[in-house]
Amino acid sequence: MPTILITGCSSGFGLETAKLFLQRGWDVIATMRTPDPKLLPVSDRLRLLSLDVTDPASIAEAVKVAGPIDVLVNNAGFGAPSPVELTAPETIKALFQTNTIGTLAMVQAVLPQMRRRRAGVIVNVTSTVTIKALPVIGVYRASKAAVNAFTETLAIEMEPFGVRVHIVLPGRSPETRFGENARPHLRGLDDPDYAPLIQGFVKSVRDDTGPVTHAIDVAEAVWRAATDPSAPLHIPGGADAELWMAETRM
């Protein structure tokens, strides 16, 4: 069976994607900074690897241990909602180091073997906020939009070598740790100018009415990218993502 390597499998989209591919008979390499065997079912088709996408040595070791990879899913990342003006320099650096440079580094580490085999699939998970501007997440949006940009170019570059490249764009999801992980980075709640804007954003994120993205939606979108040669470059990862992409005609 084909082998898929997925980054960021400790929760949310990555974890659900690993479960789905295991259920459907694939060999799965689930990676996370600190592997936890309790997160996934015991299977002789599952390998857990330690991987920090911000550490070149960690990437090199994981790719070496993994061996041949048929599908690479770059899902690892985090969010940090904060007005652009108030976003801390260390937060800006961390967002781009993880979301953008980490994804690019994984692509560069795995592509040579795919290009030699003239086969393989790269799937980069970004976000629908890259196609619709929203307040408070400007720097996060920029870090993900950069991934869209280089992935669109990569798709053109890899076509002659038989390597398919796709972008999965999830929408707003109540099933990830986005809010939990982002809270320490939030600034401006005590600023009279920015507080109303931030409070409105937080309320919209917590709103459970209307269409949202579920983790299984993203897993199914990745499955489509991995298994359907006719899949488009941009694939929506949830009901709200489909609406947003239809509005922008992506």
84 alpha carbon, distance to own chain's centre: 22
Look up the pTM and report it: 0.94
Q: Is residue 36 part of a domain?
A: no
CATH code of the domain covering residue 239: 3.40.50.720
Of 57 and 191, which is predicted with more confidence? 57
66-102: pLDDT as tens digits = 999 999 999 999 998 899 999 999 999 999 999 999 9
CA 69 – CA 110 distance, rounded (Å): 8
User: What pLDDT score does 181 carry?
Assistant: 60
In this model, does residue 25 exceed pLDDT 80? yes
What residues contact 242, with CB distance under 8 A and at least 6 apart? 211, 236
User: What pLDDT score does 187 carry?
Assistant: 74
| Residue of 140, 194, 223, 244 marked active site | 140
In this model, does residue 177 exceed pLDDT 60? no
CA 152 – CA 144 distance, rounded (Å): 13
Q: Is residue 158 part of a domain?
A: yes
| Catalytic residue check, 140 | yes
Region 166-180: what's the mean pLDDT?
A: 79
User: What pLDDT score does 189 carry?
Assistant: 80
CA 53 – CA 23 distance, rounded (Å): 26
Least confident of 38-42, 45-49, 202-206: 202-206
Q: Is residue 67 part of a domain?
A: no
Q: Is residue 68 part of a domain?
A: no
Q: Is residue 114 part of a domain?
A: yes
Task: Say if residues 222 and 22 touch (Cβ distance below 8 Å).
Answer: no
Residue 87's domain spans which residues? 73-248
Beta strands in the chain (DSSP E): 3-6, 27-32, 46-50, 71-74, 120-125, 163-169, 234-236
* 126 burial level (CB within 10 Å; 0-12, 13-18, 19+): buried
Q: Is residue 20 part of a domain?
A: no
Count of domains observed in the chain: 1
Region 234-245: what's the mean pLDDT?
A: 94
182-197: pLDDT as tens digits = 667 677 788 889 988 8
Region 151-165: what's the mean pLDDT?
A: 98
Q: Is residue 17 part of a domain?
A: no
Q: Is residue 38 part of a domain?
A: no
User: What pLDDT score does 160 carry?
Assistant: 98
User: What pLDDT score does 183 carry?
Assistant: 65
